[in-house]
Amino acid sequence: MNVKRIFGTVLTILGIGGLIYVGNGLINKGIGNTSLIVVGIIGLLFFFSGISLIKNTKDES
C-alpha cells in the first residue's frame, strides 16, 4: 500500500473524529464555542485533505 494513501486514510479518520467531537459538543453545549469552531475547521481540513489524497493517489503495481 502506498504511503500517501495510508496518510490520507489517517487524515480522514482524524477529520471524522474531530467532526464527531464537534457534533457532540454542539449537542451537549458543554464546550466553549471558540474551541468548537477551531476543532471543526481543523477537522474539515483533515477530512477533505485526506479524501483528496486517497482520490488522487494512483496505484502502481
Which pLDDT score is estimated for 7? Answer: 92
Count of structural domains, the chain: 1
What type of residue sits at position 6?
Answer: I
In a domain, 61, yes or no: no
Residue 58 gets the label, from left (phi > 0), alpha (psi -120 to 50) or beta, of beta
Residue 34 neighbours by CB distance under 10 Å:
8
pLDDT-derived band at 3 (thresholds 50, 70, 90) equals confident
In a domain, 51, yes or no: yes
Which pLDDT score is estimated for 60? Answer: 72
Host domain of residue 28: 3-55
CB neighbour burial string for 36-46, b if at least 16 within 10 angstroms, e if fewer: beebbeebeeb
